[in-house]
Amino acid sequence: MIILAIDTSCDDTCVSILKLVNGRFKILSNVVSSQVKLHAKYGGVYPSLAKREHKKNLPLVLEKAIKKAKNPKINLIAVTVGPGLEPCLWVGVNFTKELAKKENLPIVPVNHIEAHILANWLQPIGSQSKFLTSKSQNVFPAICLVVSGGHTQLILMKDIGKYRVLGETRDDAAGECFDKIARILGLGYPGGPAIETYASKLDRGPASISLPRPMMHQKNYDFSFSGLKTAVLYKVKSMKPKEVRKKEFIRAMAAEVQQAIIDVLIHKTVTAAKGYKAKSIILGGGVVANQQLRKQFKLKIQRELPRAKFFVPDSKFSTDNAAMIAVTGYYQWLKEGSAKIKSIEAKANLRL
């Protein structure tokens, strides 16, 4: 079986082709066209502009993906229907529906959040790996943390396709918090990588800045990061502009912001894993490309949950891509078969 997958949930135009043979898979192509430079001047994604770029880029990205995969015979098309920016989602959905009609191919709708979880079922391009299953890998129940620019959720995963949201952000998502704080500090967009870069350059010593860890010790699995952003804003406003612009201050603030977010994410996730006796912890989403987060998660799990397995996707599959949509589409097809083309709609607030 060969699956073509399309994702236009935000500002990346993504197309991937995945091949399955005897329960194994191989990525034939995985093309991502980024709009980061285009949106950088706005400090975030401008939906109408992103929609326009998707319309322009999608045919070109599809052609490139097919060429790279050496023009394979497609058996199934998977497309992201939500959650995401609705104008962007509709571009991918309408394009896929037309393609499915033209080529007479079955189509399956995919939840973007589930795809971030199942990105852990992917291996680097060119390699092969057997699909994980509850029977072969003994990984369930699992606690999944999906953390990106638009989402921060803790999810109990009993098996592929069986999820229960335990907690989520009440305001800003972690990635959104990174972006807003980077804007306050004048670091540009996207904020997460910029803050990570400045934090890595800090000459480690006694903490010169202390920020809150919002909701970290509350007896629930929800998150809140708006207070962290506000604390940074008040600190910056209390200082002279020339002091704010000093590299030493920016590096110290970036390091403390990053650590505050990491502390909250790790504490909540490990607490949930203990409470639900999880056999594994699974991470997904763009924010988990952060190397400090990966490192500290691994160390914390080794210390406090030594028997638990720890899964985090390759960095190239943490951010938006269509390979993860293809894997999720495959499991959706196994469970429910293909969908009627007329029934497929974009759903910006789609729940897991």
**pLDDT at residue 21 above 90?**
no
As a whole number of angstroms, the distance between CA 210 and CA 77 comes to 49
Identify the sign of the CA torsion 46, 48, 52, 58.
positive
Confidence check: pLDDT of 300 > 50: yes
Edge-to-edge strand order for the sheet containing 107-111? 107-111, 76-82, 2-7, 12-21, 24-34, 128-130
Q: How many C-beta atoms surround the C-beta of residue 72 within 10 A?
A: 14
Which pLDDT score, from 0 to 100, does residue 131 have?
Answer: 45
In which band, very low, low, confident or very high, does the pLDDT at 123 lie, cut at 50, 70 and 90? low
Asked which of 32-46, 103-117, 152-166 is least confident by mean pLDDT, the reply is: 32-46
Please tell me the distance from the alpha carbon of residue 307 to that of residue 338, in angstroms, as a whole number: 38
Interior CA angle at 33 toward 186 and 41, to 5°? 25
CA distance 352 to 237: 39
* 127 Ramachandran zone, left/alpha/beta (phi>0; psi -120 to 50): beta
132, pLDDT greater than 80: no
The full DSSP string for 77-95 is EEEEEESS-HHHHHHHHHH
Alpha helices in 186-287 (DSSP H): 191-200, 226-237, 241-244, 247-275
Q: End-to-end alpha-carbon separation of the chain, Å?
A: 26
The per-residue pLDDT of the chain, averaged, comes to 93
For the cut 70, the answer to whether the pLDDT of residue 124 exceeds it is no
Least confident of 195-204, 220-229, 248-257, 280-289: 195-204
The larger pLDDT score, comparing residue 274 to residue 24, is at 274
Q: What percent of the chain has pLDDT over 70?
A: 95
Determine what percent of the chain is predicted with pLDDT higher than 90. Answer: 85
pLDDT surpassing 90 at residue 43: no
At residue 155, the pLDDT reads: 98
Q: Does CATH place domain 2-122+316-343 in 3.30.420.40? A: yes
Q: What is the mean pLDDT of residues 241-267?
A: 95
pLDDT the model gives residue 221: 98
44-51 long-range contacts, CB within 8 A, separation 24+: 44/179, 44/189, 45/10, 45/11, 45/85, 47/85, 47/86, 47/87, 47/88, 48/87, 50/10, 50/11, 50/85, 50/87, 50/88, 51/85, 51/87, 51/88, 51/90, 51/91
Give the pLDDT score at 205: 58
**Residues, the chain:** 352
pLDDT tens-place string over residues 88-111: 999 999 999 999 999 999 999 999
If you write DSSP's letter for every residue of 271-328 in order, what string do you get?
HHHHHTT-SEEEEESGGGG-HHHHHHHHHHHHHH-TTSEEE---HHHHSS-SHHHHHH
Convert the pLDDT of each residue in 48-95 to its tens digit: 999 999 999 999 999 999 999 999 999 999 999 999 999 999 999 999
> Is 70 exceeded by the pLDDT of residue 135?
no
Residue 17 has pLDDT above 50, yes or no: yes
According to the model, what pLDDT value does residue 125 have?
A: 40
- Report how far residue 80's alpha carbon sits from residue 145's, in angstroms, rounded to the nearest whole number: 20
Which residue intervals of the chain bear CATH 3.30.420.40? Answer: 2-122+316-343, 136-312
Residues contacting 33, CB < 8 A, separation 6+: 12, 13, 14, 57, 60, 61
In terms of CATH, what superfamily is 136-312?
ATPase, nucleotide binding domain (3.30.420.40)
Task: Using pLDDT thresholds of 50, 70 and 90, give the confidence band for residue 156.
Answer: very high
β-strand partners of 3: 18, 76
pLDDT score of 18 more than 70:
yes
- Taking residues 292-318, report their average pLDDT: 96
| Category of 32 on φ-ψ map: left (φ > 0), alpha (ψ -120 to 50) or beta | beta
Tell me how far apart the alpha carbons of residues 171 and 224 are, in angstroms, rounded to a whole number: 6
Residue 352 has a pLDDT of: 93
Question: Average pLDDT for residues 315-338, to the nearest whole number?
Answer: 95
The position carrying tokens 């210390």 is 303
- pLDDT recorded at residue 203: 75
pLDDT at 116 over 50: yes
DSSP codes of every residue in 130-144: EPP-HHHH---SEEE
Q: Is the pLDDT of residue 128 over 80?
A: no
Beta carbons of 212 and 228 less than 8 angstroms apart: yes
